Structure 1
Amino acid sequence: MTPKTSPADAPDTAHRRPAGVDDATVEAVGKLTEALETIERARGHLYSFHQLTGGADFELGEAADLLEAAGHAEIARRLRTELVGRNVLPGRWTFQIVEEYDDGYYERVRAEERSVRDELLQGRRHVFESELKESRRTRGAEGHEARP
């Protein structure tokens, strides 16, 4: 028995290829979007770096306090002077690195990806993935619906 299909069992318009757009264009824009997604992941790691480094700075301060309480005042002073509150790059704490990344490279890549989608796919997102989903799902089968 062949599963029943209906017009609702197709991707929504927001994820369909605009008329006249060829396979190569859909693939290329899909690759650009994939690059943006990788950059999003890198940005997440950068924020992890920011938070982990900030937390470690407080731990260094606590270690210095504990060393001082244990009678190692000179070592505690050295840690506070050399490490606590230290720049991670010349003149920069991690929040400054995050801001530069966000305002520079990250925003530029996001803007270009959006611009290319606007120019070539009428702003539609994930057209390549939507077509991949269509090629892999079983139409009409439970758990394989085209959309919610």
Structure 2
Amino acid sequence: MSETDGPDPAHRRPEGLDDATVEALGKLSEALEVIENARGFLYGFHRMTGQADLALGEAVALFRDAGHEEIADRLETELVGRNVLEGRWTFQIVEEFDDGYWAAFREAERRARDELAEGRRHLFEAEMKEDRRTHGRRHHEALPDDRSTPDREAPGSR
């Protein structure tokens, strides 16, 4: 397989790496991708909760301006700045997730790749691409053509 005929060297399985191990590494990578997606939802939750708290503060001011002091006071004391979970605002939840579960998951995935596949990522997907693409057909190339990606420098161009 030539350099332009298939995956780049970083996406080729090391000598002697068996199909079962590539499949297992692929499934581990898939699991990590789900965790990355969950992390994105967690950050979305963090931002939306903060946005809601700020809007709530504005609603309190509007209720005051409209002469509804009792409702404004109740909203301000019961909800504005309230913890989302016991003792925590969402930034604390995000930090705990990032420093704990997410960091451990990423490290476990990286360590398995380092131990079994010389640190190479996405071997399963790279091989799937080779199986599924139509070799020799435009838009089915193994690698990007440096001329088609203006934001990439050609090797040795610096």
- TM-score range relative to shorter protein: over 0.9
TM-score w.r.t. length of structure 2: 0.89
Higher relative contact order structure (alpha carbons within 8 Å, sequence separation ≥ 6)? 1
What is the distance in 2 between the residues matched to 1:106 and 1:114? 12
Residue identity opposite 1:86 in structure 2 = R
Residue ranges of structure 2 left out of the alignment (5+ in a row): 145-158
Q: How many aligned residue pairs are there?
A: 144
Aligned twin of 2:107: 111
Which one is further off, 9-18 or 128-137? 9-18
1:7 CA displacement: 4.2
Aligned ranges 1:125-140 → 2 under 5 Å: 125-140=121-136
What is the distance in 2 between the residues matched to 1:56 and 1:45? 16
1:97 to 86, 93, 97: 93
Does 1:147 pair with 2:143?
A: yes
What is the distance in 2 between the residues matched to 1:6 and 1:140? 13
Deviations 1:66-114 (A, max 9, x none): 1111111011001000000000001100000000000000000000000
1:62 to 48, 51, 58: 58
1:49 to 45, 52, 60: 45
- Tell me which stretches of 4 or more aligned residues in structure 1 moved more than 3 Å: none
Which one is further off, 138-147 or 127-136? 138-147
What is the distance in 2 between the residues matched to 1:29 and 1:6? 25
Aligned twin of 1:20: 16
RMSD: 1.1
Deviations 1:10-50 (A, max 9, x none): 11110001111111100000000000000000000000000
SS at match of 1:114: helix
Identity %: 67
What is the distance in 2 between the residues matched to 1:47 and 1:6? 42
Residue ranges of structure 1 left out of the alignment (5+ in a row): none
